[in-house]
Amino acid sequence: MPERTRKAPAQDDATERALSRLRELVREKGLNSSAIRDAIARAAVTFQGHFEVGDLLEEVRKSGVKGAHLATVYRALPLLLEAGVIQQTMLSSGERHFYESAFEREHHDHLVCQKCGTVIEFRSEAFEAMERELAARYDFELTSHVHELLGVCGKCRRKAAPAKRRASASS
């Protein structure tokens, strides 16, 4: 198979490191390790893009684990989050719960096209600096943030608005 799921050479290592980290957390908590949970973690780290719980389960099953159950994925999620393997994202008005791989990735935020659903990640040190400043002003200790810009991408705009001739409707 041509490089379908192959990402970058460093990625496979990262997956392993993520698994180690998860196992470490599991050990710290005095829990047991489990092949299924590892498979879930692996699927989560390797997942390209944003996913929902069902997507993750599907991915796990694709990876060979046949009996995996949705409840099990749900039960694994808190651990994955705590281990920093995944993080929650808030796409599209919070109607659904999305996650994405978060291991050894820099924090980033999202630009979401409301027409085609395209998600673009962006990172801006300037934003972060301003956030820190703002938090300080309110005597807050920041732990995280959510920053999502909703709009319409250029492609969709050109597709939808070729009849843009300043007629009636505005804004």
Binds 148: which of DNA, its own copies, none (CB < 5-8 Å by kind): its own copies
Applying CB under 8 A, the span of 8-16, 38-46, 51-59, 141-149 interacting with its own copies comes to 141-149
**Both tokens assigned to 162:** 């070729």
9-36 burial code (b ≥16 CB/10 A, e <16): eeeeebbeebbebbbebbeeeeeeeeeb
Name residues contacting DNA, limited to 28-57 (CB under 7 A). Answer: 30-37, 52-54
* DSSP category for residue 51: B
Q: How many residues bind its own copies, per CB under 8 A?
A: 36
Residues in contact with 27: Cβ distance below 8 Å, sequence separation at least 6, in sequence order? 33
- Out of 16, 49, 70, 146, which residue is the one contacting DNA (CB under 7 A)? 70
Q: Residues, the chain, total?
A: 171
Q: How far is the CB of 89 from its own copies (least distance, A)?
A: 9
Q: Which residues bind DNA (CB under 7 A)?
A: 26, 30-37, 52-54, 67-72, 74-77, 96-97
